[in-house]
Amino acid sequence: MNDKFSRLWDTKNKDDEWWSSFVTAPLAVAINYMVVDIKWLTPNRITLISFITALISALCIFKGGAMNFFIAAVLIHMSHVFDCMDGQMARYRQTYTSSGSYFDRVTDQIQIAVWFGAVAYAAYIQSDDPLPIFLAFIGVAFYSLRGYVKYVAIHVEVSRDSDYLQKKSQQDLRDRKADHAGPQFGFRANLRWFLGEQKKILRFDEGVFIFMLALALVLNQLTPMLWVFAASQLFHGLYRSWQTGHEIDLNRQAHIKK
C-alpha cells in the first residue's frame, strides 16, 4: 500500500456509520485517490456536488417509475460517497474548516427531509393513501429531535461548566479508536471488523437510511420502508431524549452522540 493511499485511508472516520463504514467511505477513499490533488476541486465544492446530486435524486423519485427509482437509488449512493469525500479531502489536505463542517451538516439534514418527503409523495401517488406522508413526517421530526437533543445537552453542560467543550474534546481524543482493519490488515482482522460493524444497523442513522432508501426504491416498497423509518426514529428520538435528560439529572456529563 503506497503512502498516498495510506494517508487517505487514515482520513476515514474510525467510527463511521453502518453502510458508510464498509461501502461508501471506502469508495470515497478510492475516488479521492484519483482527484485529491486537483486543486480547484475543494471540499466545499464536493459538498455542493453532493447536495445537488441529492436534489436530482429527489426529482427522480417525484417523477416516479421503475427506471427513475433505480436512477434515484444510484444517485443517493453517489451523493453519500461525495458526502464522505469532502471530509476526507479536507483532512488529507489539512484544510478542515468550521464553516465547511457547518455546511456539510446542514445539507445532510436538508437531504434527509427532501429524500423522505419525495418518497412519501411517491408512495401517496401510488396508493392514494395519506399514511406515507404521516410516516415520513414522524420519521423526519424524530430524527431531527435526535440532533436537537445533542445540542440542547451541549448548551446545558456548557452553562454549568464553561470548560465542558475542552474536556469533551480531550476525552474524545483519549477514546479515539485505533485502526484494527483496512488494507494493511489481514483477512481475518477485516472479517472480524466487518462482522462487528453489523450491529450498527440498529442505530438507524444516516448510514442506514442510504441503504434503506435505495433498496426500497429498487424493490418499489416505499410504504414498508417508511414504517421502519418512522418507528426507528420515534424510538431513538424518545430514548435519546430520556437518556440524555437522565444523565443531566444525575449531574453526570451527558453522553453526546453523533
Report pLDDT for 225.
97
The percentage of the chain sitting over the pLDDT mark of 90, rounded to a whole number, equals 70
Instruction: Find how far residue 112's CA is from the centre of its chain.
Output: 9
Which among 92, 74, 77 is positioned nearest to 24, based on CA atoms? 77
Q: Could you tell me the residue ranges of all domains in the chain?
A: 3-249
- pLDDT above 80 (res 167): no
pLDDT of residue 99: 85
pLDDT at 254 over 60: no
Q: Is the pLDDT of residue 181 over 70?
A: yes
Position 116 confidence tier, pLDDT thresholds 50, 70, 90: very high
| pLDDT interval class at 222 (50, 70, 90) | very high
Q: Is the pLDDT of residue 15 over 70?
A: yes
Average pLDDT estimate for 145-162: 87
Q: Which CATH superfamily is domain 3-249 in?
A: CDP-alcohol phosphotransferase transmembrane (TM) domain (1.20.120.1760)
Any idea which of 39-53, 57-71, 150-164, 165-179 has the lowest mean pLDDT?
A: 165-179
- In this predicted structure, the answer to whether residue 172 has a pLDDT above a threshold of 70 is no
The answer to whether residue 57 scores a pLDDT higher than 90 is yes
% of residues, the chain, pLDDT over 70: 94
Mean pLDDT of the chain: 90
The mean per-residue pLDDT over the stretch 131-139 comes to 97
Model confidence band, residue 175 (pLDDT cutoffs 50, 70, 90): low
pLDDT band at 26 (very low <50, low <70, confident <90, very high): very high
